[in-house]
Structure 1
Amino acid sequence: MAPQATLSSREQSAVEATLARHIAVLASDDFGGRQPGTDGETKTLRYLAREWQAAGLESGTNDPANPWFAPVELSLSLPEKSSVRFYRNGRPIPLAAGSAAVFTTGTRGLVQRAPVLFVGEQGEQLEGIEVAGRVALMLWDHPGHVEQRDALLRAGASAVLAIVSDEGELSKITGTRRRGTYRIAGGDDGAAIDGVLTRAALMTLVGQDRLDQLLRAASESDFRPVPLDLNASLEATSAPGSVRTHNLIARLPGRRPSAGAVLVLAHWDHFGRCATPPADDLTCNGAVDNASGLAVQTELARRLAAGPKLERDVYFLATTAEEWGLLGSRAFTENPSIPLESIVAAFNLDTLAVAPAGSAVSIVGKGLTPLEPGIARVIAEAGRREGDERLAQDYVRRQDSWALLQRDVPAVSVTSAFARPELFERFVAEHYHQPSDEAAGVELGGAAEDLMLNEALVRYFADPQRWPGKRGKSGAAP
């Protein structure tokens, strides 16, 4: 018999009210924007742990020295100085003040008179020999820009500069970067340079006609990187620091722990203070991103614990530093509290409060796991339908499931938010990573229905009779 996955109108209202209560607390000014390493982290994790423990969960760290809270050591780099200079035939080309900025997560990054290469939207498909030792100019306004930048740096680019639309976009990005950059402690030295350059600055460097040619060429399927008759000298320095933060891990014991586990995750962190005076509102409260995911995760834990006992264990993971590069989920995969191969399915809950009730759902990570036959069955049993998948696939690498997928853990996000591109894109344009992402007026109709759907998904995949737990990239439900 399929578990309940629909709500009466009265039940829908009650669930929405409960989710709103959690979001109001987690996205309140008292929690300060939930930045890692701050008092906001302490309040956030205490609230979640108290709610989860009251629901009947137990510590899932499997580490007696660190019950509930798994430490994650991060290195923090705070930018100090930067300079950007371009040359043609040895002569400097002046740029307008505020039209470029560079950063490094090392103590000092330096590039001197390196050749400049325009790469458009290309990154992972390029050979190292094409970009090594060069300053790569990439376009920013496209899905996958973060992954493109990282791929160019891995390929050996001396530096990567992202071309942004205007000074407003540059100011938004640099404002975030100047609050510091995190990375997992003990990783690489982070001495590479990356930064931003306005389109107007690029026009100054190459001229309007040449800029138009480059942009047209970049849109063609046969585009190849274009060397420019420019050299660049870049320097950035930063002050090192460290942050001790935590993942929160809990467990709902099942009857047969040896049969594997289902994992439910959501990131708890946000940006803290993200604006400066004279702005009236200085805090990024992160109501939709991701207090909504935490609210659904918390109520999912309560409902599962209150219902019939499951066969498999279910682990609940609230990750830190997702906003800084999926660092909490990466730390979990490097030091998991359970063997990764024992996780038969993982469901990520992120930025859920976007779509109204009655919306379709989409699967972030579709085509990358063996879970789809089971997911399709549960969606059908719940009377839901799949909608537009295109936007969901743009975000595969930008949410915590990606860190798990890279370690062959079957992880997806099944949500109504990405199935309504017009609503999600409006949220991104008006509220994403801004102080206006607040609890008041958050849309909870789709989030309440997603709660019920994800409960049905967890119950399905926690049943070895319905889902035996095949691994790999293909499989089928029995």
Structure 2
Amino acid sequence: MATGAHAARRALAVVCALVAASCAPARIAPTPADALNAIESELAADIAVLAGDEFEGRRPGTPGEAKTLRHLSQTWQAAGLESGTNDPANPWFAPVALQLNTPDRSVAHFYRGGREIAVPEGAVHLYTSGRRSLLERSPVVFVGRAGEALDQSELAGRVALMLWDHPRKIEQHDALLEKGAAAVLAVVPDDAELRELTDRRSKGSYRLLHDEDGARLDGLISAAGARALLGADRFAALSAAAALPGFRPRPLDLEARLEATSLQAEVRTHNLIARLPGRRPDAGAVLLLAHWDHFGHCAEGDQPVAICNGAVDNASGLALLSAVARRLAGQPAQLDRDVYFLATTAEEWGLLGARAFARDPALPLDTIVAAFNVDTVAIAPRGGPVAIVGHAMTALDDDVARIIAATGRKAGDHAYANRYLRRQDGWALLQHDVPALAVSAAFADREALETFMRERYHRAGDVADDRLELGGAAEDVLLHVALVRHFASIESYPAPAR
């Protein structure tokens, strides 16, 4: 039970929160079209630089990283920010140690009733996140498109054969491993996509150095390989059944012996951390973050070499942060709390930079009153609604809703936006009880987002061209300025006790 003094403090905090909640922010005057056009031009210029070929796709541990961080730090310093690492030995750049696992060799054998089944050469590609992974005669289960709702008992010790042909395939893949599948094999029906995926995986994957998570084994298999394993008719029947309501995993009369090895190397990369000092840093801080990394050199269809420039994902998020920094730093006296700007590394390999920040933060995590992640924002037109990734998971929703309304914008489909919850850096912070959201027009425009995911996401086509749609992103700049001013103000947001 709380002591009298502690109870009094909590009661005061609750009263303050209720008072703040009862006072809706004053409506913000509409922004003239010319001003929004100017913001769009500002964003386009920053995206063009960060997604230029000279940045080589911004892969961690490459010359492209050095160019990216040098440009960002100079941009943020010119805007009026200062180093936020709180480490004199490493101003601006917080080191992150990664382990690079590059595929070495792999072997896959499949058996039915003790008899080995032949698959086409090159149909199966296996990968391990450790030095070596080996499975001896593990049973295979067909899971179709299911994963997140499955029980551990349906997966433990089994090789999960999944379909890589739906929007939530990444979430499904990760959920299968988290729920105890001994390995995951994804059936990739499109040969061009299979080539792109194997090319990307051949360049290696990262994990945090000395990460205690066990090595994971997963792989890709062509549709021809799946038909050879199961028979064409049976594979077609299982695929059709997987589309029906109530589908449950189907154990197969197959066993798999899978082995994969990798070569390991240490890679030093960095988060970039900046700060805009407030008048009352003892009152906590607001955090804005966006990941700076992408995939570097990659394949695209039949092209053996290309660059994945990552214009939308996520040069656009970085450009938005820079635009917000310029506007906030121009009027710093309005801010009580410090505002931190964080550009994270290795988001594309499992939110690694955000996880590293959470493990060794530049400020105590419990002093962050609100965090806003910005990712993949250059796809929605002007005048659309706003959705919240992380809705109903923090105490920020009501305040954010009032700010959205004050800017004259409408709320979108938060439930749809939450489908991307685990795929963005805010998730790494939420796991440490940091109230983190992504507030964006992009995640409210389902058609535009799914078109981007289908046609350009993680591909060489994500470039700074005339397909960038910056209308919603320009409005999001002003929305984030309003959000920061609200949550950085002790009067408007007294920060209820957590």
Look up the match of 2:485.
459
Deviations 1:130-182 (A, max 9, x none): 32222111233344433433333344332111222232232222221111110
Deviations 1:69-92 (A, max 9, x none): 000000001112122221111112
Cα distance in 2 between the residues matched to 1:247 and 1:315: 12
* Helix, strand or coil at the partner of 1:274: strand
Cα distance in 1 between the residues matched to 2:482 and 2:29: 6
Look up the match of 2:107.
83
Cα distance in 1 between the residues matched to 2:148 and 2:317: 31
Cα distance in 1 between the residues matched to 2:325 and 2:73: 11
Q: What is the CA distance between 1:285 and its match in structure 2?
A: 0.9
Look up the match of 1:52.
76
Correspondent of 1:109 among 121, 127, 133? 133
Look up the match of 1:392.
417
Question: Residues 3 and 301 (structure 1 numbering): CA distance in 2 closer, same or farther, change over 3 Å?
Answer: farther
Correspondent of 1:174 among 168, 187, 198? 198
Look up the match of 2:379.
354
Matches within 5 A, 1:4-403: 4=28, 6-188=30-212, 190-275=214-299, 279=303, 282-309=306-333, 310-403=335-428
Cα distance in 2 between the residues matched to 1:465 and 1:312: 11
Aligned length: 472
* Helix, strand or coil at the partner of 1:215: helix
Q: What is the CA distance between 1:5 and its match in structure 2?
A: 6.8
Cα distance in 1 between the residues matched to 2:208 and 2:323: 30
Cα distance in 2 between the residues matched to 1:422 and 1:155: 31
Question: Residues 70 and 412 (structure 1 numbering): CA distance in 2 closer, same or farther, change over 3 Å?
Answer: same
Question: Residues 37 and 104 (structure 1 numbering): CA distance in 2 closer, same or farther, change over 3 Å?
Answer: same
Cα distance in 1 between the residues matched to 2:98 and 2:254: 37
Correspondent of 1:447 among 473, 476, 482? 473
Question: Residues 431 and 5 (structure 1 numbering): CA distance in 2 closer, same or farther, change over 3 Å?
Answer: farther
Letter of the 1:459 counterpart: R
For the 8 Å contact 1:104–1:190, the answer to whether it is kept is no
For the 8 Å contact 2:196–2:300, the answer to whether it is kept is no
For the 8 Å contact 1:247–1:318, the answer to whether it is kept is yes
* Helix, strand or coil at the partner of 1:351: coil
For the 8 Å contact 1:99–1:167, the answer to whether it is kept is no
Deviates more, 1:421-430 or 1:394-403: 421-430
Matched, 1:411 2:416: no
Look up the match of 2:13.
none
Look up the match of 1:429.
454
Question: Residues 24 and 83 (structure 1 numbering): CA distance in 2 closer, same or farther, change over 3 Å?
Answer: same
Letter of the 1:341 counterpart: D
Deviates more, 1:70-79 or 1:252-261: 252-261
For the 8 Å contact 2:287–2:340, the answer to whether it is kept is yes
Question: Residues 151 and 426 (structure 1 numbering): CA distance in 2 closer, same or farther, change over 3 Å?
Answer: closer
* Helix, strand or coil at the partner of 1:98: coil
For the 8 Å contact 1:364–1:414, the answer to whether it is kept is yes
For the 8 Å contact 2:294–2:313, the answer to whether it is kept is yes
Question: Residues 410 and 334 (structure 1 numbering): CA distance in 2 closer, same or farther, change over 3 Å?
Answer: same
Deviations 1:105-126 (A, max 9, x none): 2122222221111223333544
Cα distance in 2 between the residues matched to 1:63 and 1:113: 51
* Helix, strand or coil at the partner of 1:311: coil
Letter of the 2:414 counterpart: E
Deviations 1:43-66 (A, max 9, x none): 111111111111111111111111
Deviates more, 1:424-433 or 1:308-317: 424-433
TM-score by length of 2: 0.90
Letter of the 1:45 counterpart: L
Deviations 1:381-437 (A, max 9, x none): 100112233542221111111111111111111111121111122222222111121
Q: What is the CA distance between 1:284 and its match in structure 2?
A: 0.9
Cα distance in 2 between the residues matched to 1:121 and 1:278: 28
Deviates more, 1:374-383 or 1:281-290: 281-290
Question: Residues 189 and 258 (structure 1 numbering): CA distance in 2 closer, same or farther, change over 3 Å?
Answer: closer
For the 8 Å contact 1:3–1:459, the answer to whether it is kept is no
Deviates more, 1:222-231 or 1:261-270: 222-231
Cα distance in 2 between the residues matched to 1:393 and 1:75: 30
Look up the match of 1:476.
none
For the 8 Å contact 1:410–1:471, the answer to whether it is kept is no
For the 8 Å contact 2:97–2:208, the answer to whether it is kept is yes
Letter of the 2:446 counterpart: P
Q: Which runs of 5+ in 1 are unaligned?
A: 473-478
| Sequence identity percentage | 57
For the 8 Å contact 1:365–1:411, the answer to whether it is kept is yes
State the superposition RMSD in angstroms. 2.0
Q: What is the CA distance between 1:455 and its match in structure 2?
A: 0.7
For the 8 Å contact 1:330–1:404, the answer to whether it is kept is yes
Deviates more, 1:164-173 or 1:23-32: 164-173
Cα distance in 1 between the residues matched to 2:282 and 2:96: 28
Question: Residues 143 and 278 (structure 1 numbering): CA distance in 2 closer, same or farther, change over 3 Å?
Answer: closer
Question: Residues 229 and 280 (structure 1 numbering): CA distance in 2 closer, same or farther, change over 3 Å?
Answer: closer
Q: What is the CA distance between 1:264 and its match in structure 2?
A: 0.2
TM-score by length of 1: 0.94
Letter of the 2:364 counterpart: P
Question: Residues 5 and 47 (structure 1 numbering): CA distance in 2 closer, same or farther, change over 3 Å?
Answer: farther
* Helix, strand or coil at the partner of 1:71: strand
For the 8 Å contact 2:160–2:185, the answer to whether it is kept is yes
Q: Which runs of 5+ in 2 are unaligned?
A: 1-24
